């Protein structure tokens, strides 16, 4: 991996954090999760930020995080929140953007009940699927690389490594 960052995007539950941790380890790079960074800075979980401050404030935090990453981070694998690239185009300046494309049904099958409950935008599954469909084209348009991530972790990592070499 070169001195640039790898930025993983995709819908909530698409595997960005799991893939990111392994990709970083395999490449001896740092792993950063933007949602975890925001939770740490705010001292509360994303669901609480949405509940107490609203989505607009959360999107502001994402933009602030993207600017900080752009100015301060190199040679890292960065997992982003599901809507970060949708609302924060500055993310393209952080590094090579890789879209982990996973069908909505696969995302649901991967998530446990408590995970679904922690995600505010999954409270209504019909709305979540509509959002998935809307965001899918945005992810594809803004990504530098799209990876079919509807596979075992090891295969997804191989696909990413191959795409980065080209």
pLDDT digits (tens, 9 = 90+) for 90-102: 888 999 999 999 9
Q: What per-residue confidence (pLDDT) applies to 139? A: 94
pLDDT tens readout for residues 18-38: 999 999 999 999 999 999 999
Say what the pLDDT of residue 113 is: 66
Q: Do residues 8 and 81 lie in contact, with contact meaning Cβ atoms separated by under 8 Å?
A: no
Q: Name 127's Cβ contacts closer than 8 Å, sequence gap at least 6.
A: 121
pLDDT of residue 2: 45
Alpha-carbon distance of 100 to 155, in angstroms, equals 12
> What pLDDT was estimated at residue 110?
81
pLDDT (tens digit per residue) in 139-152: 999 999 999 999 99
Tell whether the model's pLDDT for residue 11 goes beyond 50. yes
Arithmetic mean of pLDDT, 118-136: 84
DSSP state of 123: S
66/93 Cα distance (integer angstroms):
9
Question: Does domain 5-165 fall into CATH 3.40.50.300?
Answer: yes
What pLDDT shows up at residue 26? 92
Taking the domains of the chain in order of start, what are their residue ranges? 5-165
Q: Please, where are the H alpha helices in 43-152?
A: 46-53, 55-72, 84-87, 104-110, 113-118, 125-142
Count CA within 13 A, CB hemisphere, residue 123.
5
CB-CB contact of 61 with 49 (8 Å): yes
Q: pLDDT category, 130, cuts 50, 70, 90?
A: very high
């Amino acid at each position: 991996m070169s001195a640039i960052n790898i930025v993983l995007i995709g819908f909530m539950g698409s595997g960005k954090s799991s893939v990111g941790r392994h990709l970083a380890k395999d490449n001896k790079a740092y792993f950063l999760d933007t949602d975890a960074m925001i939770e740490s800075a705010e001292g509360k979980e994303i669901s609480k930020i949405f509940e107490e401050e609203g989505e607009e404030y959360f999107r502001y935090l994402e933009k602030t995080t993207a600017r900080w990453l752009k100015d301060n981070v190199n040679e890292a694998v960065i997992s982003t929140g599901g809507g970060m690239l949708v609302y924060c185009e500055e993310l393209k300046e952080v590094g090579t953007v890789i879209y982990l494309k996973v069908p909505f049904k696969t995302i649901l099958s991967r998530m446990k009940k408590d995970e679904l409950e922690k995600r505010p935008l999954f409270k209504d599954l019909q709305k979540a699927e509509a959002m998935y469909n809307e965001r899918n084209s945005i992810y594809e348009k803004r990504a530098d690389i799209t990876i079919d991530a509807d596979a075992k972790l090891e295969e997804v990592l191989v696909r990413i490594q191959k795409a980065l070499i080209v």
